[in-house]
Amino acid sequence: MLNQALRVFTGDGEISAASGFTRIFARHMDHTIDEKWEKVEQMLTQRFGKTPDMEATLFLIGIQELGQVNRKFTKEQKQDLMHIAVCTLLSTSGYFRLEGRDQDGWPHFVELKKITGLTLEEQEKLLKQHVIAYFEANGTMKNADVSFSDH
């Protein structure tokens, strides 16, 4: 869509340098995402003493959203926590909606639209953008008691 919006045609129908601008703009956005991602990693490393990978970051966000920080989780619950994180993050872009919480306080989401046609790299970029936005909107983690030993 951005590419279409920036297309400028010459008199004989050829696309001008606008598509080059789109590539430069995309590289700039990637660089900005990389810089902001490094800041998220630094913040989490400073807080927890380790640099988390994407799974650990999602796990931490899931615990944050569940609000049950001082407990052990089963392997299945850890996967559920990462799912909570993904749904929470992508709900800001209309992919999911919080449906409610069950009797144990676990959030449940409804999928509103599917994410299709993205490569693994593009999926990771999408998640990084949403993780960055999450931390920008929420500041730092609310509870410092979360540790990697539970992961």
**pLDDT tens figures, 90-107:** 999 999 999 999 999 999
Domain limits for position 100: 52-150
Residue 16, in any domain of the structure: no
Q: How confident is the model at residue 27 (pLDDT cuts 50, 70, 90)?
A: low
Residue 132, in any domain of the structure: yes
pLDDT for position 101: 96
Residue 5, in any domain of the structure: no
Residue 10, in any domain of the structure: no
pLDDT for position 30: 67
pLDDT for position 69: 81
* For range 95-123, the mean pLDDT: 95
Q: Which of 105, 103, 106 is nearest to 83 (CA)?
A: 106
Residue 76, in any domain of the structure: yes
Residue 63, in any domain of the structure: yes
**Angstrom distance (rounded) from CA 74 to CA 10:** 61
Q: Which of 77, 102, 107 is nearest to 91 (CA)?
A: 107
**Angstrom distance (rounded) from CA 133 to CA 126:** 11
Most confidently predicted of 19-33, 95-109, 129-143: 95-109
What share of residues in the chain are helix, strand, coil (percent, to 5)? 60, 10, 35
At position 107, the amino acid (one-letter code) is: P
Residue 31, in any domain of the structure: no
pLDDT for position 145: 35
Number of structural domains the chain divides into = 1
* For range 103-124, the mean pLDDT: 94
Residue 89, in any domain of the structure: yes
Summary mean pLDDT of the chain: 79
